[in-house]
């Protein structure tokens, strides 16, 4: 009888321990040595860095305007996450970095970004700065000709940074807004029990 009780207690303990350990829907990237900084221009031509967003969590996506669905749906999801977080999401900064600076002019980027979130910061750099940034964030992108135009293959993870500017998660495109919100809630939870 005592053995059974002990066994039950052990199980309960394990379950509780399981609850405590963070379970992420996205890919855990905590502790990676890359994805630390960018230096690019916003749509008004001002230079921006990741460091200046310290104190606020950041969701970062690399994409381009002439992208039929992955880019709008990723930005839509980010905007939904921000809404779902409500007051907790105050300060959550969504950032888009274009992998198509040739076609994504500042004006086009500004109009496009505003559709998803009026506070969205859209960034661009020249060819070299874009490549350098993509490398720093381990983002693959490649121009691919189609007809008399081109499309851009690119990494479609949404990166999540905590308020200290550390890269913490990569949210794949197939996760729902609810799943990403869950991750963000967990990430933003005050560290009470550590």
Partner 1 sequence: MNRLLIAGLMLLATTAAQAQNTAPVTVKDAWVRATVPAQKATGAFMQLTSTEGTRLVGASSSAAGTVEIHEMAMVDNVMKMRAVPGIDLPAGKTVELKSGGYHVMLLALKGQVREGDSVPLTLVFEGKDKKRQSIEVKAAARPLNASAKGGEMKGPH
Q: Is 137 in the site for partner 1 (CB under 8 A)?
A: no
Tokens standing for residue 128: 């070299």
Q: Are strands 39-41 and 47-49 parallel, antiparallel or unpaired?
A: antiparallel
Name 4's Cβ contacts closer than 8 Å, sequence gap at least 6: none
For the record, the structure tokens of 87 come out as 């007051």
- 57 or 171: whose CB is closer to partner 1? 171
- Residue choice 76, 129, 175, 188 for contact with partner 1 (CB under 8 A): 76
**Token pair for residue 146?**
């189609």
Q: Binding of partner 1 at residue 61 (CB under 8 A)?
A: no
Q: Is 140 in the site for partner 1 (CB under 8 A)?
A: yes
- Identify residues 152-191 at the interface with partner 1 (CB under 8 A): 153-157, 170, 172-174
Q: According to the binding rule CB under 8 A, does residue 112 interact with partner 1?
A: yes
Q: Is 123 in the site for partner 1 (CB under 8 A)?
A: no
Binding segment (CB under 8 A) for partner 1, from list 41-49, 86-94, 109-117, 161-169: 109-117
How many residues make contact with partner 1 (CB under 8 A)? 35
Of the residues 4, 21, 86, 107, which one makes contact with partner 1 according to CB under 8 A? 107
Q: How far apart are CA 72 and CA 68, in angstroms?
A: 7
Per CB under 8 A, 115 contacts partner 1 = yes
* 191's tokens: 């560290």
Decide if residue 78 touches partner 1 (CB under 8 A).
Answer: no
User: What is the full DSSP assignment across 1-41?
Assistant: -HHHHHHHHHHHHHHHHHHHS---SSEE-TT-S-----EEE
Tokens of 143: 């121009």
Closest CA relative to residue 66, chosen from 38, 94, 105: 105
CB of 117 to partner 1, least distance (A): 9
Residues that bind partner 1 (CB under 8 A): 65-70, 72-73, 75-76, 79, 103, 105, 107-108, 111-112, 115-116, 140, 144, 146-149, 151, 153-157, 170, 172-174
């Amino acid at each position: 009888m005592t053995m059974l009780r002990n066994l039950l207690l052990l199980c309960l303990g394990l379950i509780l321990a399981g609850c405590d350990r963070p379970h992420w829907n996205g890919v855990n990237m905590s502790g990676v040595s890359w994805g630390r900084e960018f230096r690019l221009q916003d749509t008004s031509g001002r230079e921006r860095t990741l460091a200046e967003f310290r104190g606020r969590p950041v969701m970062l996506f690399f994409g381009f305007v002439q992208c039929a669905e992955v880019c709008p749906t990723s930005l839509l999801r980010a905007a939904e996450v921000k809404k779902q977080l409500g007051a907790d999401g105050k300060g959550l900064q969504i950032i888009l970095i274009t992998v198509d600076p040739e076609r994504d002019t500042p004006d086009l980027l500004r109009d496009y970004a505003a559709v998803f979130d009026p506070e969205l910061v859209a960034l661009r750099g020249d060819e070299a700065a874009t490549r350098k940034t993509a490398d720093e964030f381990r983002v693959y992108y490649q121009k691919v000709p189609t007809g008399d135009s081109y499309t851009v293959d690119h990494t479609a993870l949404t990166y999540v940074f905590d308020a200290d500017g550390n890269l913490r998660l990569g949210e794949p495109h197939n996760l729902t807004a609810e799943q990403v919100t869950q991750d963000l809630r967990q990430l933003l939870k005050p560290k009470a029990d550590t």
